[in-house]
Amino acid sequence: MEIGTAMRQFLLSALLLFTFFGAFAQEQELRALKRQLETTADYKQKADVLFEIAKSYQNIHPDSSYVFALQLEMLAGTQKDQQRQCEAQLLIAQYLAGAGRAQEGLAICESVMRQWQMEGKIADWVVDFWRLKGGCLMQLNKQQAALTTFYELLKISEKTGSIYGRVAAITNIGWVYMELFQYDKAIAEFNTAKSLAERHKREVPPHYVPKIYNNLASCYGEKGEMDSAYLYTNRSISTALNINDYSTAANGLNILGTALMEEKKYRQALQKLLQAKPLRQKVGNLFFIVSDMATLATLYNAMGETEEGIKTSREALAIARENKIEGKLPMLYLSLADGYEKTGNYREAAGTYKLLGSLKDTLFEKANSEAIANMRVQYETEKKESENKLLKNENALKEARISNKNRTIYILVASALLVAALMFGWVMRIRLRRREGELKAIADLQKEKERIARDLHDNVGGQLSYIIYALDGFNEESREKRAEITGNIHLSVRNVISSLRETIWAIRDTNISLPDFSDKLKLYARNLFVRNNVKIAFNENIRSEKELNALLGLNLYRICQEILTNAFKYSRATEIKVNVQSDTDTLLIEIGDNGIGFDARQQRAESYGLQNIQKRAQEFGIALVLETAGGRGTCYRLIV
């Protein structure tokens, strides 16, 4: 195993050395092209040479590529050569996107794409404009708009027969899923793109395949499947270096370093990240430079070099803020908070985690999983409708060719085809509706899980951060202050344990039985009123095996908690009655007290609790009936 690792290290180092020799040879070729540029007067030759120079400089010296691309754009403009001018603008837009000026790059893409009508097979440079537009939107943290762009490219490519367009669209759809941490979906898209590219090698530019390998390696690494991660990373690095694609090679080295970090091989990981650094700086793409710095900061923290980790995180945050690279802010805040935590600076760590939480909420609003799932359904529906239309057109053509002599047969065949088409459409519509329902259910479940995760993050995370903060400097406080702090910590810990127990109880199984729910409610009520002289009367009549799904059960339990808590705080009751009844179709829960009651129309403290109860009931379709008046007690009825 050690020999194999050493051999891979040797081969990779040799390949890097070979690459730099290749770069030297490429520089010689560029000198020859510059001499040719100075001596030629023919427009076409001059434009071709300018394009070759700008393209060659793109990976090894982006600033020079930008200068020559500007010259080509000006020259093509004087000759009204629209296609060559657009090719120059593509190089300019790629430079701007790589320099952290995604908004300017996006403006060029949209301007060029409005000028060109997509008729016939689209050229590779047109595909690259679509790719770049989506990439700029991703840098601007507009994932949903980016996904729409990639799906539009996929539909146009399927219509015009562009293999490269299909590969690029599918790969970038997978990229969006990967950025949203949906790795299984991303891997499925990347494998589809890889298979298509490998079957049509001549129609896909050679620089594109190693990008797919990198994306696969990154997803497998995140899933902990390290053998696959190493396999695709090494393929990507060797292929990219052979064609002097420094950006893709740097991506591969960083993914390889991340995989080694997961296996706690920190020194080897640091070596890979530092090997990637000069390649990345040569390309100059600030979006990926910031991403690399976040990974490097995390590695320094893991190695115990926290000062270097915090310094690297701060430098990366400054670059990201200055260049408005919002998509990488979460990982930068996470690495910075990790550094603070490892140094024992819990105050700064808690503040950074708070910034991270608010930032994630903002990003979630901009790119939620439900919208992305609906977009996939819309694409599949449009595709099926197009296939149905094509099938009907083919049937109509066959009907037109049938001779008059076979009119009887024609009627029978046409009828059979029509019935088959209708049945096919009917079956496909049922399948699509079923699939839409499944995807909606998955999206709703995912949304609820994310909401529960945010609740736990806000409640449990906040309580734990307070505990850490309270313990900081505990020994320097007076005895009375320490006693007060200890009491607050005990209360916070009890609240954390209670919140976790209730959440785990609700989500441990797919469904919650009614007896289990009723027992949980009894326990809560008795614990709540254990120190009060309040009589609690339970009446339970469960005559069905009806079960509640986990999310409905948790929210129904929260509503009952809120009702009992309000009675405990405000009712001054001497008796609480809880009635749980169920039959085949309906569950009824009644909670009443003989307290002072209240006017539900007044804006009082308990009215805020009532608003929470009404909101939860409305969200989950629970019928709520409230009967109360001043001096006449309060009764809630919940019908599920």
Q: Is the pLDDT of residue 635 over 90?
A: yes
* Angle between the N-to-C axes of helices 102-115 and 124-139, in degrees from 0 to 180, rounded to the nearest 10: 140
Q: CA-to-CA distance for 434 and 442, rounded, in angstroms?
A: 12
Which of 60-64, 105-109, 151-155, 551-555 bottoms out in mean pLDDT, i.e. has the lowest?
Answer: 60-64
**359 pLDDT higher than 70:** no
Domain boundaries, the chain: 32-116, 288-366, 368-399+420-508, 510-639
Q: Classify 288-366 by CATH class.
A: mainly alpha
Q: Is the pLDDT of residue 360 over 70?
A: no
The identity of residue 297, as a single letter, is: A
**CA angle centred on 253, ends 251 and 257, rounded to 5°:** 115
Q: Are 118 and 141 in contact (CB under 8 A)?
A: no
Average confidence score pLDDT of the chain:
79
Partnered with residue 638 across adjacent β-strands are 589, 624
Report, as an integer, the average pLDDT of 173-192.
Answer: 89
Q: What is the pLDDT of residue 393?
A: 44
Q: For 386-411, what is the mean pLDDT?
A: 58
- Structure tokens of 30? 């560029």
H or E segment to which residue 153 belongs: helix 143-160
| pLDDT band (50, 70, 90) for residue 508 | low
Higher pLDDT, 201 or 11: 201
Q: Which residues pair with 592 in a beta bridge?
A: 577, 635
**Average pLDDT for residues 590-610, to the nearest whole number?**
76
Is the pLDDT at 16 greater than 50? The verdict is no
Note the pLDDT of residue 188: 93
Helices and strands of the chain, counted as H and E runs: 24, 7
pTM: 0.47
Q: Which residues are CB-neighbours of 225 under 8 A, at least 6 positions away?
A: none
Options 1.25.40.10, 3.40.50.12160, 3.40.50.9100, 3.40.50.10680; which CATH number does 32-116 get?
1.25.40.10
Confidence of residue 539 (pLDDT cuts 50, 70, 90): very high
The answer, yes or no, to whether residue 507 has pLDDT greater than 80, is no
pLDDT of res. 385? 53
Q: Give exposure, 5-30, as e/b (b: 16+ Cβ within 10 Å).
A: eeeeeeebeebbeebeeeeeeeeeeb
Q: Is 396 a residue whose pLDDT tops 70?
A: no
Collapse the DSSP code of 468 into the 3-class scheme (helix H, G, I; strand E, B; otherwise coil) and give the result.
helix
Q: Do domains 32-116 and 288-366 have the same CATH topology?
A: yes
Averaged pLDDT for residues 608-629: 86
CATH number for the domain whose boundaries are 510-639: 3.30.565.10
Reported as a single tens digit per residue, the pLDDT across 453-494 is 655 665 566 567 667 766 777 777 777 877 877 877 777 777
Amino acid identity of 446?
Answer: Q
The single-letter code of the amino acid at 386 is S
CA dihedral 354, 360, 362, 363 (to 10 degrees): 160
